[in-house]
Amino acid sequence: MSLMSVPVIDLAPYLKGAPDGKRKVAEEVGRACRDIGFLTIIGHGVSDDLVENFYRSAREFFDLPVSEKIKIKQPRPDQVRGYSGVGEEGLSYSLDEPSPPDLKESLTFGPADVPPDDPYYRAPAAGQFFAPTLWPSKPPELKALGIAYFRAMEKLSAQLMRIFALALDLPEYFFDDKIDKHISNLRILHYPNQPDEPEKGQLRAGAHSDYGSLTIVRQEEAPGGLQVLNLQGEWVDVKPIPHSFVVNIGDLMMQWTNDKWRSTMHRVVNPPRDKANSSRRLSLVFFHQPNYDALVNCLDSCCDAANPAKYPPITSGEHFIGKFVKQSTLGAGIA
């Protein structure tokens, strides 16, 4: 079947807690993860007021002059914090396919609640995963809204991982102890208007797959948006649906499932030239990544004698570093 749309799944029956509702949602999610690796979720319980207030504050930040934004510039390629300007990243580098840099800028936050005296968060293997977030001073409310939104995404990600477990014939809470000290990042991605025509092969975000367990995206309706590559090699538009989130699985979940589930290539395309000057777009993107020492090994329900494990074990932290440093156009030669 040639899937030409991303399935829309209502999480409300799972969240209500009845066994039949949980089973129904898990079956729908599992089917989407097998068929296309993307789904749009509604009935998720995240406050619309929180989302809209966070959007408003984020727009105010990106409206600031560059001289103000670079006060919290990302300090180093492997420290995913702070501001990154237009053209400073190239997502295709993560797949060793160089292309012109992406036409976006970003602001990235790390985990919101890091215990100051817990040695786990300061161990050598923790690296930069729990480095302090670089909060802008303007607008002043962005920090509080960012923390609140991060916490809402933490909760939603944990619920989705439990749905994943059920869909994979695992105990519902199988993943809980693998994500309780997660190294996730929240990125606000700003795709500005395009008064100048892009270079050949240059996109708002080059074709790539995500790295971790899952990604949760809140997107806007604007020219030049998200596309997903289906099994037939066709690019499918992911249309924004009011009050929804787009969810996709990442490379680690594909490895965990022995390719039973798909970490799908996707990209953000440029607007048509006749709409390029009214195409500004903001996306709120939560990249959920398991604990840095979580060992990603083939799940028992996803391999047998006829389908042995395809990937060697790897920790979440090792995998992330190997991917992320490649995507930085400044650090492409480091990894």
**Which pair of structure tokens corresponds to residue 68?**
């103000």
pLDDT greater at residue 2 or residue 153: 153
pLDDT greater at residue 89 or residue 126: 126
* pLDDT interval class at 100 (50, 70, 90): confident
**Residue 249 clears pLDDT 60, i.e. is over it:** yes
Beta 82-84 vs 105-109: how paired, if at all?
Answer: antiparallel
Q: pLDDT value at position 101?
A: 86
Task: For helices 19-35 and 142-167, give the axis angle rounded to 10 degrees.
Answer: 90
pLDDT digits (tens, 9 = 90+) for 125-155: 998 899 999 999 999 999 999 999 999 999 9
- Tokens 């105010």 label which residue? 60
The 10 Å CB-count burial string (b at 16+, else e) for 69-91 is beebebeebbbbbbbbeeebbbb
Amino acid at 200: K
**CA quadruple 83, 88, 92, 94: dihedral positive or negative?**
negative
pLDDT digits (tens, 9 = 90+) for 291-315: 999 999 999 999 988 899 999 999 9
DSSP 101-117: PPS-EEEEE--S---TT
pLDDT digits (tens, 9 = 90+) for 102-125: 899 999 999 988 998 899 999 999
Q: pLDDT value at position 37?
A: 93
| CA–CA dist 259, 261 (Å, integer) | 5
Q: Where do the domains of the chain lie, and which CATH numbers do they carry?
A: 8-327 (2.60.120.330)
* pLDDT interval class at 333 (50, 70, 90): very low
Q: pLDDT value at position 324?
A: 63
**Residue 285 clears pLDDT 80, i.e. is over it:** yes
Average the pLDDT over 60-69 and give the result: 96
**Residue 239 clears pLDDT 60, i.e. is over it:** yes
Percent of the chain at pLDDT > 70 equals 91
- Tokens 């296309």 label which residue? 36
Q: Is the pTM of this model over 0.85?
A: yes
Average the pLDDT over 177-204 and give the result: 94
Q: pLDDT value at position 11?
A: 98
**Residue 230 clears pLDDT 60, i.e. is over it:** yes
